[in-house]
Chain A
Amino acid sequence: MNCNSFEALIALYAEGDLDSSRAKSVESHLQSCASCQRFLNELEASQAMVKELATESLDSASFNVVRQRVMQEVNRRQAARPLWWRFLSPAVARWRPAWAVSLAVLVALGFLLQWQLWRKPAGSARPDASTVDSGSTVRKDSLEISTPSPSEKTEPEQQSPRELTTREFAKHRKPPVAQDLLFPAGGEPDAIAAESEPPVEQGSNLEPEAPQPADIVPEPPPPLVIKLITDDPNIVIVWLVDQEVHHN
């Protein structure tokens, strides 16, 4: 390390800014180098001049000018503030953490409420067969009556429901034997009343069977299935009714 490199270290050494190991290195160099020793002496002299600035005291008029101008501006700004803010700002400043926490809680509650409101309609779109939303309107004239077939029992959602109004059903149906047994007077069933279907062969619930002789006792019919279609296409009310056969 040459003397030029040492000068930068000497500039720090003069004010005690070097660590002990570097200070020892500089000291050992100073003992053997007269030029660097002279540099140190000159630097200490200039540093003494610089530090004399710290003892300089300014006159009070210089401070007063600054203070008066600042306070004039401060008073002007305070007067320009709205009256309500002048009363409120100390409370806001004093309880700043409390305000921050309260605001955070309010925001969190707002998000929670919004989430609940968003979630509620999505949840009501998936009702099960046993529960029906009280708010949904039941279309009473839209009835589907069928007997469960094996395919319906295994894959009910793949079957497209056959919808018939009660009038269409009454018009197009062929009266089965079981119907005669249920309604011997031959009267028209009520709109909502369960209508029986004749026992059908599995897989064909649309074609009624041919009438059987009167002396043959029919087998117990399969349970009657009544589907009530509502305005909501996702809501279907299903009744399963056991049929009774009356023998005269």
Chain B
Amino acid sequence: MQYCLYEEAIRCGETKVATASGECTLMIDDAHLDSPTENDPTAVCLKQAKAGDASAFEQIIVLHQRQVLTTSLRLLGDMKDAQDAAQEVFLRLFKYLHRFQDGREFPPWLYRVTVNVCRDAQRRRQRTATVSLDDLVESGEMREPASTTDLEAELSLTEKRGFVAEALKRLPEKERAAVVLRDIEGLSTREVASILGSSEVTVRSQVSSARMKMKLFLERRLKRRS
């Protein structure tokens, strides 16, 4: 069976997904769609995984691996590091599965774990050689006024993504987490504040600062390329 994510499985009407250990049946049959709790396949899988069902835990990974891996990739900027971080996130989930209360929102909790794991990984990595966007802005290197809309249109999608990924890597840790969750993952300011454990005002300030720095960095990159 062709691999598909949970969202795709729902859309396609599939009840099975391919996993490392074979096919897993998703708990999304009509009988489970009646009650609000059982409407959520994650809640059903969590309950079974708490009871020691390893295949149910694998289903949880299938359902949320995109969220964890892409967020880790945005925060760390490297696929290998992101895979290590995602592995650590799911192993922490397995370790503390019994602490997760039924009925609680699972994705925000998983985002919080992901951000914490990536922050720890980044501190271990200690890439001091990286020049931050703050340094570039303060040195005046990025103050060149430029109208980049025309140049941007000529760029390939891969190049654009590479520039954005580079800009994200150069942001300060907290601003990067805020802008990834708000602008790329599309969470609300309140949700981001809850995940990061800060106030909405702080998140707005971090997001505003990050957007302006990224704008300057991207303009600089596009100008240099032209």
Interface residues in chain A, defined as those with a beta carbon under 8 Å from any beta carbon in chain B: 7-9, 11-12, 14-15, 17, 38, 41-43, 45-47, 49-54, 56, 58, 60, 62-71, 73-75, 77-78, 86, 89-90, 93-94, 96
Contact = CB atoms under 8 A, between A and B. Distances in A.
A195 B183 CA distance: 107
A67 B211 CA distance: 33
Given A41-B149, A42-B148, A75-B54, A66 B87 contact: yes
A7 to B, nearest CB: 6
23 contacts: A7-B212, A9-B208, A14-B211, A15-B183, A15-B211, A43-B212, A49-B152, A50-B164, A50-B167, A52-B161, A54-B186, A58-B73, A62-B79, A64-B20, A66-B65, A66-B90, A67-B19, A67-B58, A73-B87, A73-B91, A74-B54, A93-B50, A93-B98
B98 A17 contact: no
B67 to A, nearest CB: 11
Interface stretch (B35-43, B113-121, B213-221): B213-221
4 nearest A-B pairs in the assembled complex, by CB-CB distance: A90-B51, A46-B215, A11-B208, A11-B211
A70 B91 CA distance: 6
B51 A94 contact: yes
Interface in B1-47: 3, 19-21
B20 A67 contact: yes
A185 to B, nearest CB: 91
Given A47-B183, A71-B61, 8 more contacts: A42-B149, A46-B148, A54-B185, A66-B87, A70-B90, A74-B91, A89-B52, A93-B51
Interface in B81-112: 83, 86-87, 90-91, 94, 98
Contact of A67 (B61, B79, B147, B204): B61
B83 A66 contact: yes
Q: Is the interface of B mostly helix, strand, loop or mixed?
A: helix
B177 interface: no
Given A11-B208, A63-B65, A71-B21, A78 B184 contact: no
Contacts of A49: 152, 160, 163-164, 218
A18 to B, nearest CB: 9
Give the interface centre of B86, B163, B215 by most chain A CB atoms within 10 Å: B215
B87 A70 contact: yes
Nearest to B4: A60
Contacts of A52: 157, 160-161, 164
B50 A71 contact: no
Interface residues of B, number: 55
A78 B54 contact: yes
Given A11-B211, A49-B163, A42 B219 contact: yes
Contact of A17 (B61, B66, B184, B204): B204
Interface string B43-76: 0000000111010011001100110111001100
Given A50-B184, A86-B52, A89-B52, A63 B66 contact: yes
A17 B189 contact: yes
Given A50-B183, A52-B161, A78-B54, A62 B69 contact: yes
Contacts of A62: 69, 79, 83
Contacts of B183: 15, 47, 50-51
B191 to A, nearest CB: 13
Interface string B186-226: 10010000000000000010011101101100110000000
A46 B94 contact: no
A11 B218 CA distance: 15
Contacts of A50: 164, 167, 179, 183-184, 214
A96 B51 CA distance: 12
B9 to A, nearest CB: 13
Contacts of A45: 148-149, 152
Given A52-B160, A74-B94, A12 B204 contact: yes
